[in-house]
Amino acid sequence: MPAERAAGRPAAKPSPRGERLQKVMAHAGIAARRKCEEYILAGRVKVNGKVVTELGTRVDPDKDLVEFDGTPVVAQERKRLYYLLYKPVGYLSTVSDPHGRPTALSLVPGEERLYPVGRLDLESEGLLLFTNDGSLSYRLMHPRFEHEKEYFVLIKGALTDRAIEQLAKGVHIGEKEVFVRAQVQRLDPEWRWRREAVPPGCSWVRVILREGQKRQIRYMLQNIGYEVERLIRVRMGELTLGNLKPGQGRWLSHEEARALRRFAGLERAEAHTENATRKAKVETHHDRYRRPGGVGQEHRRRRAGG
């Protein structure tokens, strides 16, 4: 793999030629073009790492990195690829790092331009999906779709009933005091992650999120007095880590990819669009014979002796 792939592409200015930004977003399935224009004006869109608010901006989908709410926007016409990786500790989930630290992208084989779906911080490990399917990334990561993400978390001490209740009700985290919730369950003291011994004074808990703030689990537990020793993501929606070991990965099969898109609501949405298009073509065809003076009506009049 070329060294520049691991290091990531340097930031670049938007292409002077190409397609309008809102058109690229609409073709990627983000929203209708007018709605995409609203997103651009609201400062929710980045091109090559910089916020763009000008509607006249043009981009080249093959060269420029377009992001909506932090998620890469990828044209649907391209071949969709999906790579499931067990991200090890010590690897960044970002596409590149200015300080030269290792990125999880360097563990993905091939030369295709893929992006991580969400992030795991440097100290965390587990399931990380890479894809060029921007619509899927958006559906899986945006909080309004409420897709579950499951984690096994090793903490110092033992979680109390009161702490579990507090996390379910919600706590404020970060400088902006964001209000977040989590479903947390104590695991049996005999439970082991892949038969590994539990460090003295520690215990495992299962955490399920339906949102995704930066370092959310660590901040939530820290907020109520617990320190995280280890954090492993094992599931995202219906996609599971399986038996992969740290650093290992695999390409999703066509059936797995379709199932994942169905889970995210994309296959149904696309099927509905195709059916609507097909129905519109049929109705247009029929209208030709319904119009006054149309071929069909003229034929019927002749048969009736009109």
Cβ atoms of 137 and 182 within 8 Å: the answer is no
Take residue 190 and report the two structure tokens written for it: 């005999």
Sign, Cα dihedral of 225, 230, 233, 234: negative
Query: Strand pairing of 228-236 and 125-131?
Result: parallel
Closest to 115 in 3D by CA, of 93, 135, 99, 97: 93
| Residue position matching structure tokens 């299962």 | 206
From 60, 69, 97, 121, the catalytic residue: 121
Active site residue 161: no
How many angstroms separate the CA atoms of 172 and 224, rounded? Answer: 10
How many angstroms separate the CA atoms of 36 and 124, rounded? Answer: 34
| Residue position matching structure tokens 């993905």 | 108
Sign, Cα dihedral of 215, 216, 219, 221: negative
**For 24, how many CA atoms within 13 A lie in the half-sphere containing its CB?**
30
How many angstroms separate the CA atoms of 5 and 25, rounded? Answer: 25
Take residue 219 and report the two structure tokens written for it: 């901040």
The helix-helix angle for 266-290 and 134-141 (nearest 10°) equals 120
Report the catalytic residues.
121
